[in-house]
Amino acid sequence: MAVSSLRLLGQIITDSIDIIERRMADASLSFPSLDEPFNSTSKVESVLVEPDMSKATSHIIAAAAQLTATVRRPVQTIMDDALAFHLSWCIRAAIDGSLVEIVREAGPQGIHINDIARKNKTDPLKVARILRLLTNNHIFQEISPDVFASNRLSSVLDSGKSSEEVVGASIAERHVGTSGVAAFAAMMSDEGMKAAAILPEHFLDPTLSFSGEPDETPFNRAFDTKLSLFDWYKKEKNEAFLRRFGLAMFGSRKLEPADAILTGFQWKDLPKGSTIVDVGGGVGSLSLIIAEAVPDINIVIQDGQLTIAHAEEFWKANMPSAITSGRVQLQVHDFFHPQPVKDASAFLLRSILHDWADPYVQKILKSLRAAATPETKLVVVDAIVPYSCIAEVTSAIPGAALEPAPFPLLPSLGKANGYAYQADMTMWAYFNGQNRTLGHSVALAEECGWKIIQVHRIPGSSFGQIVAVPM
Ligand SMILES: C[S@@+](CC[C@H](N)C(=O)[O-])C[C@H]1O[C@@H](n2cnc3c(N)ncnc32)[C@H](O)[C@@H]1O
C-alpha cells in the first residue's frame, strides 16, 4: 500500500527533528523554548543557522504547513487565511501600544490586563482581545486568565526600553537605538497592510493593472496621494514615517544572520583600496557590516538628501572614524542619473531593484553598466522568488539550482520561503515593484549588459545574492 502523504510529511518532520536533536546533543545545547526570550547572541542561535540546521528547520516549517493544509477542513483554512490581516494589526497594536514592554517588565509571572491598560491608558478588555489573538499565534503567553507574559516571539519586538519611555512615544522615536525589528513589523502592518488592502482593485483596474509607475500604486489609492511612497515620505508631515522606514531597513537585517552579507560574495577578496558603492544604501546599515569586517576598502553610500542626513547621524553613532577618515563617504545621488563613481570594484544594490518595475530597473542597471570597468561586480541582494515547480531555466549558473525538496513538499518549500512571496506583494502595493524569479532577473540583467555569474543562497536568510559582471 502506498504511504499516505500525511505519513510522508510526518516522516519529514521526525527525520528533521532527529537531525536537530543530534546536533544539539553534540554541542551540549537545548533547543530554545518558545517560553523564553530570544537571545540573538546565544550559541544555540548561531548553531540553528548552520546549513544543515537551516535545511532541517525549513523542512519542518514546510512540512508542518503542508500537513496543516492537508488535514484541516478547507473552509476553515480559507477563512483563517482570509482573516489573517487581524494578526498583522494586532502585532502593530502591541508595538505602538507598548504592550511588548509593559508585559516584559512584569517578568515571568505576567501582568493582568487592568494593570497593562492603566499603564498605556487603553481599554483593558481590548488589551485582552489583542493579546489573546497574539497568544493564540504563539506571540506572548496567557499565564492565567487575563494575565499575560512575554515569550520568544514577543521578545523580538521588544525595544528593550522602559514602558515609561515608550508609552506615548512617536511611531519612530520608540525604535531609535533598537534592533529595528519592531519598526519593520510596524511599517509592514501600517503602510504595508493599508496599501495591500487595495491590491485586488488595482489588479482588476483595466488601466492600473498594467502600470509600473511608482505613483499609480495601491499605496497611492490607500493614502489618497499622487506622490510615490518615497516622495510622500519626504513631506515634512511624514517625517516620522520616513524615520521609521530607515529604522525598519536596519531591522530588516535581522531577516538574515548578522554576517550574511559577508558569507556570499567575498568583499575581502576585492583589491586593497577598492571602492564599493552602496547604491540606494539607506543609512548604510549593511555597509557598516562590510566596513567593520574589511578595513582596507572604501565605501560610498548613495541615497536621497534626507536619508543621507539620517545616515550622518547613524555613522556618527556607530563608526565615526570611518567618516572623519574619508573611508566611508555619504553622497546624495539619484540612481536614475548617471553614476558619478567610475572606478568602483563593486556596486551593491540591496533591497533596491525590488522597489521598481522593469523599465525603472533597466534605467538603474544601464546607468551602473555605463560607469562599470571590465572588472566591476554587480551584487544584488534581494529575495529570490522560487518557482513553485521544478525549474531548470537557470541551472547553468553556479549556485542557482535549489536543492530538491523531499517529496511531497513543494519545490519552493512553501511556508519556509513565505517571505519572498509576501515581500513581493508588498513591493507591488508600495511601488509597483516586485521580487523576481531568477529567470526574470537573468533576462533583465542581460538586457542591461550584465551577465549573472553566481548566485549565493545564504543559509538562514530570506535574501539571496546575485553576482553579475559586464557582458
Ligand atoms: C528599501 S530601501 C533599501 C536601503 C538599503 N539598501 C538597505 O538595504 O538597508 C531603498 C532605498 O532606496 C532609496 N532611494 C529611492 N529612490 C532613490 C533614488 N532615485 N536614488 C537614490 N536612492 C533612492 C531610498 O531612500 C531607500 O533608502
Question: Are 201 and 340 in the same domain?
Answer: no
User: What does the pLDDT average to over 275-291?
Assistant: 95
How many structural domains compose the chain? 4
Residue after which a domain boundary falls, among 253, 280, 301: 253
Domain span at residue 118? 96-169
* Residue with grid cell 520616513, as numbered in its chain: 242
Residue 104 forms part of a structural domain: yes
pLDDT, one tens digit per residue, over 301-360 is 999 998 999 999 999 999 999 999 999 999 999 999 999 999 999 999 999 999 999 999
Atom of ligand 1 nearest to the CA of 349: 6
CA nearest ligand 1 atom 27, residue = 282
Please report the pLDDT score of residue 395 as a whole number.
Answer: 75
Widest pairwise Cα distance in the chain = 72
Strand partners, 237: none
Is the pLDDT reported for residue 253 higher than 90?
no
Q: Is the CB of 249 under 6 A from ligand 1?
A: yes
208 shares a domain with 232: yes
What's the mean pLDDT in 379-408? 86
Whether residues 16 and 114 share a domain: the answer is no
Q: Single out the residue in 213, 237, 253 at which a domain terminates.
A: 253
In a domain, 90, yes or no: no
What ipTM was reported for this prediction?
0.99
Q: In the predicted model, what is the mean pLDDT of the chain?
A: 95
| 110 CB within 6 A, ligand 1 | no
**pLDDT tens sequence across 11-29:** 999 999 999 999 999 999 9
Does residue 287's CB lie within 6 angstroms of at least one atom of ligand 1?
A: no
Tell whether ligand 1 has an atom less than 6 A from the beta carbon of residue 309.
no
Examine the domain organization and report whether 241 and 264 are in the same domain: no
Closest C-alpha to ligand 1, atom 19: 334
- Which residue minimizes the CA distance to atom 26 of ligand 1? 282
Helix 285-293 and helix 305-318, axial crossing angle in degrees, nearest 10: 40
Instruction: Answer whether 228 contacts ligand 1 (Cβ < 6 A).
Output: no
- Any idea which residues carry the catalytic annotation? 354
pLDDT-based confidence at residue 460 (cuts at 50, 70, 90): confident
Residue owning the nearest CA to atom 9 of ligand 1: 249
Q: Does the pLDDT at position 1 exceed 60? A: no
Query: What local confidence, expressed as pLDDT, does residue 404 receive?
Result: 87
Q: What is the CATH number of the domain that holds 294?
A: 3.40.50.150
Candidate of 335, 348, 363 to mutate for ligand 1, largest count of ligand atoms within 8 Å of Cβ: 335
- What percent of the chain is modeled with pLDDT above 70? 99
Residue 433 is assigned to a structural domain of this protein:
yes
Could you tell me the distance, in angstroms and rounded to a whole number, from the CA of residue 169 to the centre of ligand 1? 26
Residue 131 counted as domain residue = yes
CA–CA gap between residue 392 and residue 388 (Å, rounded): 12
The whole-number pLDDT of residue 462 equals 83
State in Å: Cα 280 to ligand 1 middle. Answer: 4
Structural domain contains residue 286? yes
pLDDT band at 123 (very low <50, low <70, confident <90, very high): very high
339 in the same domain as 317: yes
Same domain, 140 and 212: no
Q: What pLDDT score was predicted for residue 398?
A: 93
CA of 210 to the centre of ligand 1 (A): 24
Residue 180 Cβ contacting ligand 1 at under 6 Å: no
Does 49 sit in the ligand 1 pocket, CB within 6 Å? no
Task: Clarify whether residues 326 and 247 are in a common domain.
Answer: no
Q: Per-residue pLDDT for 141 more than 80?
A: yes
Q: Is residue 88 part of a domain?
A: no
Res. 3: pLDDT tops 80? no
User: What per-residue confidence (pLDDT) applies to 450?
Assistant: 98
387 or 287, which is more confident: 287
Answer yes or no: is the C-beta of 246 below 6 A from any ligand 1 atom: no
334 pocket-lining for ligand 1 (C-beta < 6 Å): yes
Average pLDDT over residues 59-71: 97
Task: Verify that 457 and 402 share a domain, yes or no.
Answer: yes
Query: What per-residue confidence (pLDDT) applies to 393?
Result: 66
Q: Same domain for 341 and 411?
A: yes
Residue of 229, 242, 303, 382 to mutate, ligand 1, most atoms within 8 A of C-beta: 303
Same domain membership, residue 118 and residue 17: no
- Ligand 1 atom at shortest distance from the alpha carbon of 307: 25
Lowest mean pLDDT segment, chosen from 70-74, 146-150, 447-451, 456-460: 456-460
pLDDT tens per residue, range 230-245: 999 999 999 999 999 9
- Domain presence at residue 122: yes
pLDDT for 323: 97
Q: Is the CB of 301 under 6 A from ligand 1?
A: no
Domain endpoint, select from 134, 149, 169:
169
**100 with 52, same domain?**
no
CA of 277 to the centre of ligand 1 (A): 13
Q: Are residues 305 and 159 in the same domain?
A: no
- pLDDT (average), residues 425-454: 96
Ligand 1 centroid–CA 405 distance in Å is: 34
Task: Kindly state the percentage of the chain with pLDDT values over 90.
Answer: 90
- pLDDT at 211 exceeding the cut of 60: yes
Give pLDDT, residue 388.
78
Residue 319 in domain: yes
